[in-house]
A and B are shown apart, each in its own frame.
Chain A
Amino acid sequence: MTAQANATDVSISRITQRFEDLKAEGRSALVTFVTAGDPDPETSQAILDGLPAAGADIIELGMPFTDPMADGPAIQKGAQRALKAGQNQRKTLEMVRRFRAHDQDTPIVLMGYYNPIYRYGVEAFLNDAAEAGIDGLIVVDLPPEHDGELCLPAAEKGLNFIRLATPTTDDARLPKVLENTSGFLYYVSVAGVTGAGSASSEAVEKAVERLKLHSTLPVAVGFGIKTPEHAAMVARSADAVVVGSALVNTIEQAESPQAAIEGVHSLTHALAQGVRTARQAG
């Protein structure tokens, strides 16, 4: 935590603050994923800007990559749309800067693959990301074995490095995964690519319980969560529910940019209702 205090002049990170506030409210967080620049820069900015009002508590912003090896068709296509419309790392950081001009509180986590960051230059990227108001990073192809590449340098700049734990991460490996993780832990509830399949509520509950034995970090659960009902079910045990492919699909199906913006925001609103009422209903 000291690194964060030095870098950002606040005592705790936006992510930690958000989880503490929601804990006080007695509810789980809704984490929404959209790809930066999908379907085009202007529409994507409008989608991002409206997410907090629609009910997103934390925003995951995808950095598009040509070869998203851990993503299913929905997020692959979203990345392709964004790249085709000219999205790049600099524009993604610029989007966040614009967002921060009117929202100082909603945490933003960049999610993607290592190569675009590596090519930008790790040091330069971390400086620019921190300056733009980014709170954390999820980099799918950087397991703890490679913490020296980005995770540790990010922590020094006060950025949370959020790690994925999966059904294949057993108790012996879990401490290694947790070691340098901060902000929250992202549990991938099914072995597979984004958007495919989904785990049963018992399986999710058991997994969250297991993770909580090893860590005090909030646990977010994602992969395959598509509807408000499903989100509500997961929100009963998880500290956060992550929805991505369903939102990205909304963009694909929209007939106009305006429809894409409205579609994402109305689905976010419905998901937020699910998450917010989960524990009362449960």
Chain B
Amino acid sequence: MTALSALPDPQGFFGDFGGQFVAETLMPLILELQGCYEAAKDDPAFREELAYFQRDYVGRPSPLYFAERLTEHFGGAKIYFKREELNHTGAHKINNCIGQILLAKRMGKNRIIAETGAGMHGVATATVAARFGMKCVVYMGATDIDRQQANVFRMRLLGAEVIPVESGMGTLKDAMNEALRDWVTNVDDTFYIIGTVAGPHPYPAMVRDFQAVIGHETRDQMLEKEQRLPDSLVACIGGGSNAMGLFHPFLKDESVHMIGVEAGGHGISTGEHAASLNGGEPGVLHGNRTYLLQNVDGQIQDAHSISAGLDYPGIGPEHAYLHSTKRVEYVSITDQEAIDAFQLCCRKEGIIPALETAHALAEIAKRAPELPKDHLMVVNLSGRGDKDMTSVAEYLGDSF
């Protein structure tokens, strides 16, 4: 097996997955981005600037918090939260956006585009665009605009133009199609900030590298608090960036078990879910080969999840690879299970998590009670739930 740190290969493959499956118009742009990223990565000035913004603007490092009341409640594993929801803009998304906008600046681009589902990536992108004085256009599915009104307003306050996408189901996949169409049309001045570890190479590797700060900090913090590595890591998966950011720095540590949590929607057997690994097949979409929800004719099927940020029919190619090598275990959690865990976290820890994050919390609810008290479990608290008030109220038959 190739050393994990050596992946992807120069063409962007993690085993069979990944690649650069894009139209010729974009190919020169992607190759240029790849070259610039490679150079920036090793440039001390770039790393210093990135570290500065991560510390003073994003608010890093985020705490590793011992969730004592949840631990007591489950009566098993010792649970830690990696508090990414405390970052500026309320999720892990900004780690990546800061990195990419510094790269955009370096490449002399002054127009930023992005796709967004829950709106967290859109907000993070609008934020950094405002901070660096760049024009920003965010594509968002019409369905998601309806269920994430507050984030739409935040983006507009930050000066971004939010363009509703009506095609398909009006969710994340459709927003990504439209962002790609914008990019082929505006090749000269535009930088596309992809929000997760998907898309054509170098995005999956680049976004992973920018998010890996989560795992690096977790390692140091855990060594300081417990003088040893964690036993398991749990994270939710839309495209897979918060999970990859937490997991990647631990991939070589065989004792660390990793669990990626996909959105099971109404349940895998109903066909209404967003679990690409557990309910999909390999295929090619949005620039990479990965597991996709699709029919026998290779037509992409719409995903379903109560959480807009997980509502995507694909998954980052490195996750597809880690699934194939069995290094990471991938499971799924239903809408109902996520809502239950969401409420439990609110009441026990006084933290309102994002609905995406609630999927990871639901998985620890299943596992923690069965595990010994000295089992150290880290869950990535990828975002806060302020944006989800309407969805949760609606689901619970409540209103405010």
Contacts and interface: CB of A to CB of B under 8 A. Distances in A.
19 contacts: A66-B299, A67-B173, A69-B177, A70-B23, A70-B184, A115-B294, A118-B298, A119-B294, A119-B297, A143-B23, A145-B20, A164-B24, A164-B25, A166-B23, A166-B25, A168-B26, A169-B28, A191-B184, A196-B185
A163 interface: yes
A167 B24 CA distance: 10
Interface string B261-288: 0000000000000000000010111110
Given A76-B167, A83-B299, A118-B298, A192 B184 contact: yes
Interface in A190-244: 191-193, 196
B134 to A, nearest CB: 20
B23 to A, nearest CB: 4
Nearest to A77: B167
B157 interface: no
A141 B284 contact: yes
B181 A193 contact: yes
Nearest to A73: B167
A142 interface: yes
Contact of B298 (A119, A164, A166, A167): A119
Contact of A164 (B23, B299, B300): B23
Contacts of A117: 298
A17 interface: no
B236 interface: no
**Chain B binding surface, main DSSP class:** mixed
A129 to B, nearest CB: 15
A69 B180 contact: yes
A36 to B, nearest CB: 12
A141 B19 CA distance: 11
A6 to B, nearest CB: 29
A70 B181 contact: yes
B261 to A, nearest CB: 25
A66 B168 contact: yes
A88 interface: yes
A102 interface: no
A132 interface: no
Contacts of B300: 66-67, 115
A191 B24 contact: no
Nearest to B281: A119
Interface string B27-46: 11100000000000000000
Nearest to B298: A119
Contact of B285 (A115, A164, A173): A115
Contacts of A68: 177
Given A83-B299, A89-B297, A188 B24 contact: yes
Interface in A111-140: 113-120, 140
Contacts of A89: 297-298
Size class of A's contact patch? 35 or more
Given A116-B299, A117-B298, A169-B28, A143 B20 contact: yes
B23 A69 contact: yes
Contacts of A142: 21
Nearest to A140: B23
B28 A168 contact: yes
B284 A193 contact: no
Contacts of A177: 24
Nearest to A176: B27
B187 interface: yes
A219 to B, nearest CB: 15
Contacts of B283: 115, 118-119
Contacts of B324: none
Contacts of B299: 65-66, 83, 116
A72 B173 CA distance: 16
B22 interface: yes
Nearest to B185: A192
Nearest to A119: B298
B3 interface: no
A162 to B, nearest CB: 12
B285 A67 contact: yes
Contacts of B297: 88-89, 116, 119-120
Q: Max chain B CB contacts within 10 Å: which of A115, A120, A165, A193?
A: A115
B25 A69 contact: no
A117 B21 CA distance: 14
Contacts of A140: 23
Given A66-B299, A69-B286, A119-B283, A166 B24 contact: yes
The 8 A-B residue pairs with the shortest CB-CB distance in the complex, in nearest-first order: A119-B298, A116-B298, A192-B185, A88-B297, A166-B25, A115-B298, A70-B23, A141-B21
Most A Cβ at <10 Å: residue of B29, B180, B284: B284
A211 B385 CA distance: 54
A5 to B, nearest CB: 29
A67 B177 contact: yes
B296 interface: yes
A124 to B, nearest CB: 13
Contacts of A168: 24-29, 187
Contacts of A120: 297-298
Given A65-B299, A118-B298, A191-B187, 10 more contacts: A89-B297, A115-B292, A141-B22, A142-B21, A146-B19, A168-B29, A169-B24, A169-B28, A192-B25, A192-B185
A170 interface: yes
